[in-house]
Chain A
Amino acid sequence: MPSIAKPPVRHPALPVNELGLTERDYEGPMSTLCAGCGHHSVTAAIVRALWEVAVPPHMVAKLSGIGCSAKTAAYFLHGAHGFNGVHGRMAPLATGVAAANSELLLIGISGDGDSFSIGIGHLVHLIRRNLRMVYIIENNGVYGLTKGQLSASADVGSTSHWGTAGVIQPIDPMLLGLSLGATFLARGFSGDKVQLVPILKAATGHRGLALIDVISPCVSFNDHEGSTKSYRFTRDHDVHGTETDFVEPRPAILAAIGREGITDLTLHDRSRVRARAVPQGYDPTDRDAVGAYLREAHARGEVVTGILYVDPSRPTFHELLGVVQRPLVAVPYSELSPGSAELERFAQS
Chain B
Amino acid sequence: MNTQTRERDIAELSPGGWVLWDSTSPLEQAGAREDVALLGIPIARMCIEEFDNPRERILLQNMVYAGAVTALLNIDPEIAAAFIDERYQRRARLREANHHAFRLGEEYAREHFAYPLPCRVEPLEGTLDSIIVDGNTATAVGCIYAVATVAAWYPITPSTSLMDAFSAFSRRYRRDPESGLTTGMIVQAEDELAAIGTVIGAGWAGARAFTATSGPGLSLMQEQLGLAYYTEVPVVLFVVQRAGPSTGMPTRTQQADILAAAHASHGDTAHILLFPGDPAECFDFAVRAFDLAERFQTPVLVLSDSDIGMNDWMVPRLRWDDSYTPDRGRVLGAADLEGVAEYHRYADPDPDGVTARTLPGVSPRAAYFTRGSGHNRLGGYTEDPDEYREVVDRLARKHAAAARRVPEPVVERRPEAGVGLVTLGSGGPAVREAAELLRARGVAADWMRVRGYPFDAAVHAFLDTHEICFVVEQNRDGQLRTLLLESGANAAKLGSVLVYGGVPVSAGEVVESVLTRLRRREK
A2 and B366 contacting across the interface, CB-CB below 8 Å: no
With most chain B CB atoms within 10 A of its CB, the pick from A80, A92, A327, A329 is: A92
A13 within 8 A of B: no
Partner of B382, one of A2, A82, A91, A333: A2
Q: Which residue of A lies closest to B183 (CB)?
A: A331
Q: Which residues of B contact A104 (CB under 8 A)?
A: 205, 360-361
The CB with the most chain A CB atoms within 10 A, among B149, B203, B382, is that of B149
Query: Which of A33-41, A270-278, A303-311, A318-326 touches B?
Result: A318-326
Residues of A within 8 A of B363 (CB): 58
Please determine whether A81 and B368 come into contact, CB atoms closer than 8 angstroms. Answer: yes
Given the interface contacts A328-B184, A335-B183, A343-B319, does A100 sit within 8 Å of B150 by beta carbon?
Answer: yes
Chain A residues 248-272 with CB under 8 Å of chain B are none
Q: How far is the CA of A48 from the CA of B206 in the complex (A)?
A: 29
Stretch with Cβ within 8 A of A (4 or more), from B26-34, B72-80, B189-197, B440-448: B189-197
Interface centre among B144, B320, B361, by most chain A C-beta atoms within 10 angstroms, is B361
Q: Is the CB of A100 within 8 A of B320?
A: no
Partner of B205 from A57, A325, A329, A339 at Cβ < 8 Å: A329
Inter-chain contact A99/B202, CB cutoff 8 Å: yes
User: How many residues of chain B are within 8 Å of chain A by beta carbon?
Assistant: 70
- A2-B380, A58-B361, A321-B182 given as contacts; is B207 within 8 A of A100 (CB)? yes
Supposing A58-B366, A85-B200, A329-B205 touch, asked if A337 and B147 sit within 8 A by C-beta, the answer is: yes
Which one, B44-52, B173-181, B499-507, B513-521, is touching chain A? B173-181
Give Cα A93 to B366, complex, Å.
20
A1: chain B residues at CB < 8 Å are 381, 383
Residue A56 lies at the interface, judged by CB distance under 8 Å to chain B:
yes
B111 interface residue (CB < 8 Å to A): no
Given contacts A85-B227, A328-B183, contact A100 B202 (CB under 8 A): yes
Say whether A95 contacts B201, CB under 8 Å. Answer: yes
B69 in the interface, Cβ–Cβ < 8 Å?
A: no
Is residue A230 within 8 Å, beta carbon to beta carbon, of the partner chain? Answer: no
Which residues of A sit under 8 angstroms from B141, Cβ to Cβ? 343, 346
Q: Are A121 and B320 in contact (CB under 8 A)?
A: no
A81–B360 touching, CB < 8 Å: yes
| A86, B223: Cα distance in complex, Å | 8
- In the complex, residue of chain A having the shortest beta-carbon distance to the beta carbon of B328: A333
Q: Is the Cβ of B319 less than 8 Å from the Cβ of A96? A: no
8 Å CB contacts to A: which residues of B138-197? 141, 144-145, 147, 149-150, 152, 173-174, 176, 179, 181-187, 189-191, 193-197
Q: Which residues of B contact A79 (CB under 8 A)?
A: 364, 367
Q: Residue of A at shortest CB range from B322?
A: A340
B194 touches which of A62, A95, A103, A335 (Cβ 8 Å): A95
Pair A89/B224 contact, Cβ less than 8 Å: yes
Check A328–B145 contact: CB distance below 8 A: no
Q: Specify which chain A residues have a CB less than 8 angstroms from the CB of B380 in the assembled complex.
A: 2-3
A337 to B372, alpha carbons, bound, how many Å? 34
A101 interfacial by beta-carbon distance below 8 Å: yes
Q: From A59, which residue of chain B is reached at the shortest CB distance?
A: B361
| Interchain CA distance A246-B507 in the complex, whole Å | 75
Q: Which residue of A lies closest to B382 (CB)?
A: A2
In the complex, what distance in Å separates the CA atom of A7 from the CA atom of B114? 95
A104 to B488, CA, bound (A): 47
> A82 with B207: in contact, given A99-B185, A347-B131, A347-B318 (CB under 8 Å)?
no
Partner of A324, one of B179, B195, B204: B179
Report whether A100 and B205 are in contact in the complex, using a CB–CB cutoff of 8 Å: yes
User: B311-331 CB contact bits vs A (8 Å, 1 = yes)?
Assistant: 000000111111011100000
Q: Which residue of A lies closest to B233 (CB)?
A: A83
CB of B144 within 8 A of CB of A93, answer no
Report the minimal beta-carbon distance from A73 to chain B, rounded to whole angstroms. 8
B371 at the binding interface (Cβ < 8 Å): yes
B186: chain A residues at CB < 8 Å are: 321
Name B300-345 residues within 8 Å CB distance of A.
317-322, 324-326
In the complex, A314 Cα to B187 Cα: how many Å? Answer: 19
| A104 CA to B231 CA, complexed, in Å | 21
Cα A3 to Cα B101 with chains together (Å):
76
A84 touches B (CB below 8 Å): yes
How many whole Å from B211's CB to the nearest CB in chain A? 10
Q: Which residue of B lies closest to A131 (CB)?
A: B187
The chain A residues found within 8 Å of chain B, CB to CB, are 1-3, 56-63, 73-74, 78-86, 89, 91-101, 103-104, 121-122, 124-125, 318, 321-325, 327-329, 331, 333, 335-340, 342-343, 346-347
B residues touching A (Cβ–Cβ < 8 Å)? 131, 141, 144-145, 147, 149-150, 152, 173-174, 176, 179, 181-187, 189-191, 193-207, 209, 223-224, 227, 231, 317-322, 324-326, 358-364, 366-373, 380-383
Complex A-B, nearest 8 residue pairs according to Cβ-Cβ distance, in ascending order: A96-B201, A92-B197, A100-B207, A81-B360, A96-B202, A100-B205, A96-B198, A336-B147
9 A-B pairs whose Cβ atoms sit less than 8 Å apart in the complex: A57-B364, A85-B197, A85-B200, A85-B372, A93-B200, A94-B201, A96-B209, A101-B360, A328-B184
